Every structure is written in C-alpha cells, then in structure tokens.
Amino acid sequence: MEKIKSNAQLIFAFSIICLAMAIVYFALELSAFRTDFPDILTQMENTSKVIYPTVNGIAKIGDNVPLIADEIDKVREIMPSILEEVKATRKSMPGALEKIHIIMKQVEETRKVLPEIIEEVRQTREMIPGILEEIHGLKEQIPPIVEEIKKIQKQLPDTLETIDNASESVYAFSTELGKTRQLVPDILKEVKQTREAMPEILNHAERIVVQGQKFGADAGTGAVNGLIRGILNPLNITTRLKELVLPGHDIATLTDTDIELMRKTTIETVENKNVGTIAKWNNPKSKNHGTITVLKKFFEDAAECKEIRTQIWINKEKTHDFNVIFCRQKDGTWFEK
C-alpha cells in the first residue's frame, strides 16, 4: 500500500513538472505570437485590400451571368445551321482539293516557262536603248518633214487645179476602159485555157529535151545521168524551189553552185541509193546545205518508183522540206510523178 502511494506521488510530481513545462512552453509561444501579431494584422489588412477588388469583380461577373446565359442560348439556336454548313463544307472539300491540285499544276507549268519569259524580257530591255535612239532620230527628222508639208500646202492650189484637169482625162480614160472591160471575160477565158494546157505543153517539151540530151549523152558520161539531168534541169529546180519554199523564207541567196550540188546529189540518190539512205550536200562558200533521203521504194504499174524527201537550209535556216516521187520508165529514164 505504501508502495502504491509512493508511486502515485511520483506520478503526481511528474505530472506537475510536465504541466509546469507546458505552461512555460505556452508562455513562450504566446510571447512569440504577441511579437508576430502586428505583422499578421498588417498582412491580413493587405490581403483584405487585394481580396476586396476580386470580390467586387466576382460580384460583377455574377451580374453578367444572365447576359452570358442569353448569349449561350443564342449560340445554341444557331449551332444547327453552323453544323449544317460545316457538313456541306466537308462534302465540298474533295472538289475544292481537286481544284487546288489543278491550280498547283498550272502554277508549276507557269514556273517552267518563267525563265523563257524572263529571258525574253531581258532581250526586250536590251533592245529598248536602240529603239529610243531610233525614236530620237525620227524626232530630229520631224522639223524638215513639217517644213516640207508647209511647202506642199503652198503648192496645193496649183495641184488641185492640175487634178481637176486630170479628172477630165480620167473620165475619158474610164469611158475607154468600160469598153475594154467588155472584152475581159473572153480574154480571161483564153488565158485560163492557155494555163490549163501549159503543164502538158511543158512536159512534152521537157520530154523532147530529155530525149535530145539522151542522144547527146550516150557518147559521154552515160545515158541514165543525161536523162535524169534533163528532168532535174537548173531552171526547173529553181522554179520548184520558189513554189515549195516554207512560209516566211525565200531563195534569194541560193547560188548556182548550191543548185548544181543538190541536182547531182538527187541524181545519185535516185539512181543508186537504197531506202533509208540520207545523202548530204554542202557548199562551204555559201554556207548553204541540204539532205536527200530515200523514204521508200515501190512499184506502180510495173514501174520502179522511189519517194525522196528533200530538206534545204539557207543561211542556217530551214527553208524547204518536201517529198518528190520519181519513177523509172520502160526505156530506163526517170521522171517526176
């Protein structure tokens, strides 16, 4: 019993000590709190200053909530039409993409030709100074022209009088011309008949020349060459080349040597070359040249025929490109069909 009482006293004493320590700790904490309390009050005051505008803003937002709700309702009303437009837009997208693809292709093709366009613009710019200089020269010529016009104006009355006199002569001439016109249809008819008969007459004359050359050539360089030479005489070649020249060109600079080279090459090709052969002629002096190509060989009415393609370059520009068919007659001569 004494032992229990002793233990109870010890426990009570320990409790008193703990309580005393707790009171001391509380006193220390209270002292620290009192030290920090002014700062806490200051901080709370600053916080209230910051919070107050926020609270007012929240209150204003609360006032605007009905308006926002109305706007949302309006948006909800138009949403079906917007969704319908979006659906229609999605459906049209493939066609729009196809158009975009076509446009991109056109842009790419335009890019390809841009260098040529730029080069042409550059060349045009280089020509501008010369053009301006020429214009300047023309401007300098204007005053003399104006002076000449003034002189002409002074002479105009005399000129008009001369014209009046000439008009009487013209009237008389017109009368005579009217009589002559009556004869024109008959003259044109005769001219037409003459033109229609000319090819046959010329062919006949050419055959006579060919035959004559054949008899004269037999004693010299060979019968066949003489006959072909008769067909491809220089005069005939020149006439044909004028008729067959490509548009925008002429044969003014084609020399007699060029024609002779072309004639000899044609003769050799017709007589001796096979299909696919390309014979060339070139005149270093005139710089003109050409090719004679055997396109095909065939028989028509038991006659051997060859189709020849002739190409000519004059002054480095292609002026002729035409085909001719030659057929061999029973007597061995070649003629143009």
Greatest mean pLDDT range, 82-96, 117-131, 194-208, 320-334: 320-334
Cα(41)–Cα(34) distance, integer angstroms: 11
**Predicted pLDDT of residue 173:** 60
Cα(298)–Cα(300) distance, integer angstroms: 7
Q: 202-227 pLDDT, tens per residue?
A: 544 454 344 344 434 433 343 334 34
Q: 114-133 pLDDT, tens per residue?
A: 788 888 878 878 888 877 77
Q: Which residue has better confidence, 139 or 174? A: 139
Residue 246: CB atoms within 10 Å: 13
Instruction: For residue 257, give both structure tokens.
Output: 């040597």
**Predicted pLDDT of residue 92:** 76
Proportion of the chain above pLDDT 90, given as a percent: 18
Q: 165-186 pLDDT, tens per residue?
A: 666 665 666 676 666 667 667 7
**Predicted pLDDT of residue 212:** 41
Q: Taking residues 52-77, what's their average pLDDT?
A: 74
Of 118-122, 193-197, 229-233, the least confident: 229-233
User: Residue 292's closest CA among 274, 272, 277?
Assistant: 277
Of 53-67, 148-162, 200-214, 294-308, the least confident: 200-214
pTM above 0.95, yes or no: no
Q: Taking residues 237-251, what's their average pLDDT?
A: 81
Q: Taking residues 180-196, what's their average pLDDT?
A: 67
Q: Taking residues 5-24, what's their average pLDDT?
A: 79
Instruction: Please check whether residue 253 is in contact with residue 219, taking contact to mean a CB–CB distance below 8 angstroms.
Output: no
288-300: strand order across its sheet: 278-283, 288-300, 303-314, 317-328, 334-336
Cα(312)–Cα(306) distance, integer angstroms: 19
Instruction: Please check whether residue 288 is in contact with residue 312, taking contact to mean a CB–CB distance below 8 angstroms.
Output: yes
The residues spanned by each domain of the chain are 196-336
